[in-house]
Amino acid sequence: MRRQLAPDSPALDAGLARVSGYVTEVGEHLRQLARDLRPMLLRDLGLEESLTSLAEGMTAAGTNVQAVFPTATPRLTEETEIGVYRIAQEALANAARHSGAGSIRLTLTADGTTLGLEVVDDGCGFVLDEQRGGETLGLLGMEERALALGGRLQLHSAPGRGTAVRFECPLELRSPASAA
């Protein structure tokens, strides 16, 4: 397209580079969705074990990813488990991909009425207003999942201070019949 429309156009080059980036990002998300439409680990092992496996899989040279469960998490509705898993997956992927963090910590808590998920990294951080201006598909997806579960998603970050993604939703327990 670049050669056919305008061989030496900086404005066109910038636009095409932006479109190419968006197409690449959409492709990555579609591949991830196709691979994990219904993670079998969730069905078989539950949310805690699935998140532990996800954290272990994201650990790489120079980046330690830890999953912590200060409270026991009961089996939740399938919709809730998948939504929480997807939010954690995207938050961990963003931290691993963009933050340059040495440490990423995922914490899942459950009390009598609320489920909480937090992903915190010690990476480079960023200016929130700049990120919001060019909202990424991943952030939009996390926010939409949070709303679908009746919850809320908060993002805290600052340059040089890392990033924290916090999600909270009502605790929706799986019925005994669906747990079998």
Reduced to 3 states (helix: H, G, I; strand: E, B; else coil), residue 2 is: helix
Tell me the per-residue pLDDT of 79-133, one tens digit each, with 9 for 90 and over: 999 999 999 999 999 898 888 899 999 999 999 899 999 999 999 988 876 555 4
Paired sense of beta strands 103-110 and 152-157, if any: unpaired
**Residues 98-109: pLDDT tens digits?**
888 999 999 999
Show the tokens assigned to 27: 């492709």
Tell which CATH architecture fits domain 39-179. 2-Layer Sandwich (3.30)
Tokens (6 digits) for 113: 């009425």
In the chain, what are the domain boundaries?
Answer: 1-35, 39-179
